Chain A
Amino acid sequence: MNQRKVFLPQGVQDLLIDDCLLRRVIENQIMETFTQWGYMEVSSPALEYYDLFTRPEVLADGDKMFKLIDADGRILVLRPDCTIPMARVVATKMRDFVYPLKLCYVADVFRIDQEQAGKKREFRQAGIELFGVTTAKGDAEVLVTAIETLKGIGLQHVTVELGSVKYLKALFRQLGLTADQQAAVVALLEEKNVTGLQELARDYGINGGYGALLTRLPRLFGTLEEVQAALAQHPQTPEMTEALEELQATIELVADYGLDQYLGIDLGMVNQLDYYTGIIFKGFTRDLGTVLLSGGRYDALLGNFGMDCPATGFALVIHKITKALKIQEQLQVPKRRHVLVLACDTPRGTVGEAVGQLRQQDDIVEFCLLKTADDIRAYMKKRQVDELVRIHPDGRVESIDPARLTDAMMKEVTQ
């Protein structure tokens, strides 16, 4: 018990100096890109009612949420996701705002993930949500913003891969899968488990062209052309054709903007199928084995709050972005000129004026709180202080060579 006061719970961490600085730099850059694309920041509380995330079953897994009991016995959670709170905010507070409505956020999310020691249970997400646009233009807008955001923070070898929930659902309908069968198929698609899908198709008595397509789905990824070529030998329903055309139209819009080289397609991509309704996507870089960004269209979510409003958006995970940037050696701690001030007895106001002038160029200017020359030199070395100055009684600022600083000189300095 006694030891607990010095340890941290699993999955959380302290960030020290440079890591805080870097996080701020990265987040500022991300939010700046969002702002430049017309998104407005909103902030929702970390505490919400449990029911928000479980009724109706959108994020389903209540077991993975940190819960608290309110004074009146109601169950609260630390937000496990940002999109659902955004939808709540829009439906309850911004219904009459001008649309399309573009919102962005950066916030901590909390998830219980005990199975994997070392996985974060508190982490920061930044993201955008675009409300009120049904067309491919909306999807393309969000995709372009995603790519520009990743590029904006200096991430290299970026790919954003697109899938289509509409296409999958159309295929499932054509195959006549029950809800349970669908869940089993989705789990196998998530693993790209071809053997498993083949066995399942046998068990369910699925065969013919659409059965072959189902077992081929895990391999249907790559460029648009590659996927289209592979699809040529498979049948498709009008609904599936429509979903593919939607995908193609979106890609063409991104190509018009000039960013299609960052796009790929994975028709076997699955992601929370009862939540997303159209195009879904995931962003990654070849240098980090994990997804950095994910998003898609979720036209039905607002309906849960009694508002009929299409929506699409994405979220990215800050610490994964930071890790990828570190691997790519794209991260530099920003350095500012740092000045240490020794102030002599001066007429009132003189020091303030001198310091104000020193700070004008974004410099760090701090008063020396140490007494001996050696302590000052040690401090300057550790903190990488660039310059030591003395402010004379007449307000004159004199630069001092720290090597020549003596304790005798310190006597004149106000202590």
Chain B
Amino acid sequence: MNENPRMALTKGRLEKDTVNLLEAAGLDMEPVRKPSRKLILQVPQFPLDLILLKGPDVATYVEYGVADLGVVGKDVLLEDPKPVYEVLDLGFGRCRMAVAGPPEMAATPKKHLRVASKYPRIARDYFEGRGQSVEIIRQQGSVELAPLMGLADVIVDIVETGNTLKANGLVVLEEIVPISARLVVNKISYKTRRHEMNRLIDMMEKQLTNR
């Protein structure tokens, strides 16, 4: 068992939002703000260690209990479900998972749809749920390009402002699910350290309701 509870943060924007939230809750976040090569950061005067990882790794670390808690996007949890507790919707990192494509796609639904996505599982689940069989084309990035180049009919991707879509002449055709950052907890840690975990959860929740 780790001495201090260990929280894994998703590098990038979610990390910044989480750090702001914890800071607002009264924690000293200086070590995280300072650029450093350290991989495990200790919060001064508070029993909490932080580690920084990529989204899917956050979920994995928490699943195995290497990290007790984690902050990760709902998109990651939907694409690669892990047996972890998802105790809090943190509200930030808000966007939508949506089907997007050229505007004319809305008028002429196709029988066989080619879908490009970084989220093959979410895409498949969504279309299967509607009874439509689709061909999923897995992408690593620049998904908007696929319909333009004729690789796919539509895309399934995260939409925040819609600016990228607009710039490429695409529109949101259907919304699949709203996305935001979630606080996840290892199933065993939550039980064996419930007082520490609940304290952290309550502390973060209180900040959210105060906003």
Per-residue CB contact flags for chain A residues 163-197 toward chain B (1 = under 8 Å, else 0) read: 00000000000000000000000000011111110
In the assembled complex, B192 has its CB within 8 A of some CB on chain A: yes
Q: How many residues of B contact A (CB 8 A)?
A: 24
Binds B, one of A58-66, A71-79, A216-224, A353-361: A216-224
Evaluate contact between A264 and B86: CB separation under 8 angstroms: no
Which of A190, A218, A290 has the most chain B CB within a 10 Å cutoff? Answer: A290
Asked whether A284 and B191 contact (CB < 8 A) given A195-B88, A219-B198, the answer is yes
Evaluate contact between B198 and A286: CB separation under 8 angstroms: no
**Chain A residues with CB under 8 A of B192:** 157, 159, 284, 286
In the assembled complex, A47 has its CB within 8 A of some CB on chain B: no
In the assembled complex, B46 has its CB within 8 A of some CB on chain A: no
A262 to B189, CA, bound (A): 16
Asked whether A290 and B65 contact (CB < 8 A) given A115-B80, A159-B191, A284-B191, the answer is yes
The chain B residue with its CB closest to the CB of A193 is B86
Per-residue CB contact flags for chain A residues 305-336 toward chain B (1 = under 8 Å, else 0) read: 00000000000000000000000000000000
In the assembled complex, A69 has its CB within 8 A of some CB on chain B: no
A218 to B188, CA, bound (A): 14
Per-residue CB contact flags for chain A residues 281-295 toward chain B (1 = under 8 Å, else 0) read: 000111111110000
Which of A161, A192, A288, A289 has the most chain B CB within a 10 Å cutoff? Answer: A289
Evaluate contact between A192 and B87: CB separation under 8 angstroms: yes
Asked whether A289 and B80 contact (CB < 8 A) given A195-B89, A219-B198, the answer is no
Evaluate contact between B87 and A221: CB separation under 8 angstroms: no
Q: A interface vs B, CB < 8 Å?
A: 115, 157, 159, 161, 190-196, 218-219, 221-222, 264, 266, 284-291
Q: B interface vs A, CB < 8 Å?
A: 1, 63-66, 80, 83-89, 185-194, 198
21 contacts between A and B (CB under 8 A): A157-B1, A161-B191, A190-B83, A192-B190, A195-B89, A196-B86, A218-B85, A218-B87, A266-B191, A284-B188, A284-B191, A284-B192, A286-B1, A286-B188, A289-B64, A289-B186, A289-B188, A289-B189, A290-B64, A290-B187, A291-B187
